[in-house]
Structure 1
Amino acid sequence: MHSIRRIFSVGTAAFVLGAGLLAGSSGAAQAAASDCTGGANGFTDIPDSLSGRGVAGAGALVISDPHAVASWAMQSGTVGGRQMGWGVLSTGGAGDWGPRVRASVWMYVTNDNKATTILCGPFEVQSAGTRITTPAYPTSSSASRAFQVCAVLSSPGEIAGATCSPWW
């Protein structure tokens, strides 16, 4: 079982890094949640229950074997008196979320018009009826700062491919 977890973890990290390249990242991608938690790299931890205004897109992910559903969105709102953006992932209460079903959300931030990006996440959930957020990052009136939220849902037999919002 441990080797299956290791393979899945390595596969998820490779998938996220690959998604970063597809998203237009030319800088070095960071693939650890610790790179944006606890105040790292200008991010602010927020409660998973925090809701904001939907911006730049949202979507649903579905796998059939076993049946599982997750939805994701990019949101913005006031955190600690500052306007910030973050990603959110919610797993549907229905379906068969066996022990090997996983859903992940992550966020890219660029401060230099997508020349480089900061990868925040992935953050993973493994059960139905769960909601998780990425840490929040300050918004800016500068056109060089942009955000993108991505999510994936998978089981050993199926992957609902990574889906990303447009840059906002």
Structure 2
Amino acid sequence: MHSIRRIFSVGAAALMLGAGLVAGSSSAAQAAPADCTGGAKGFTDIPDSLSGTGVAGAGALSISTPPAVASYAMQTGNVGGTSMGWGVLSTSASIWGPTARGQVWMDVTNDNKKSWIQCGPFAVFSAGTRITTPAYPTSSSASRAFRVCAQVDSLGTSSGITCTPWW
């Protein structure tokens, strides 16, 4: 009887330790737009109309019922004399249902992707709309990287979350 208890105790301890390691390795903190607007955490607010050079790829998102199509990308450019990166989401002017919502956010790491700051999500609800995340300074340091993630959803239908590669 003691050996069965010991096996269960060791097994439970291993399970708890494993769960703690998995929980501890979840690097992305849940964030709100206010966590990175107004100069918070080194981010700079930019106008939704700001365009830069596309880097790290881009993507398209769609759901069929109700229909919604959007595109997302990571861009870099000069913001107030500093080289910065940001995310952008553009909704389709012709394929956008009345209940659709598009979201975009940017993840920034300063420790080679061990952890990151999530800036957003920022949401848009109307057709033909462009929205950007706040911008963050680029760096020649190999430990700093960016990625942009996006999602489109409506009435329980979701495109799923899609991200650019880290850049």
TM range (shorter): 0.7 to 0.9
Contact 2:28 2:118 in 1 (8 A): no
Percent identity of paired positions between Structure 1 and Structure 2: 71
Residue 143 (structure 1) aligned with residue 142 (structure 2) = yes
Q: CA deviation at 1:157?
A: 3.7
Query: Quick one: distance in 2 between partners of 1:40 and 1:73?
Result: 22
Q: Between Structure 1 and Structure 2, how many residues are aligned? A: 144
Structure 2: where are the runs of 5+ without partners?
1-21
* Offset from partner CA, 1:20-50 (integer Å, 9 cap, x none): x9xxx74350321111100000000000000
- Tell which structure's C-alpha radius of gyration is larger: 2
Once the two structures are superposed, what CA deviation does each residue of 1:6-27 show, in whole Å capped at 9, x if it has no partner? Answer: xxxxxxxxxxxxxxx9xxx743
Q: Who is 1:77 aligned against? A: 77
8 A contact 1:65–1:157 mirrored in 2: no
- Match for residue 101 of structure 1? 100
Contact 1:97–1:126 at 8 Å: present in 2 too? no
| Per-residue CA distance 1:121-167 (angstroms, 9 max, x = gap) | 00000010100000000000000000010000011141111110000
Amino acid at match of 1:105: V
- Cα RMSD of the aligned pairs, angstroms, is 1.4
**Unpaired segments of 5 or more residues in structure 1?**
1-20
CA distance in 1, matches of 2:122, 2:161: 14
Structure-2-length-normalised TM-score: 0.83
List structure 1 segments (4+ residues) > 6 angstroms apart after TM superposition: none
Match of 1:64 in 2: 64
Query: Which residue of the partner structure matches residue 19 of structure 2?
Result: none
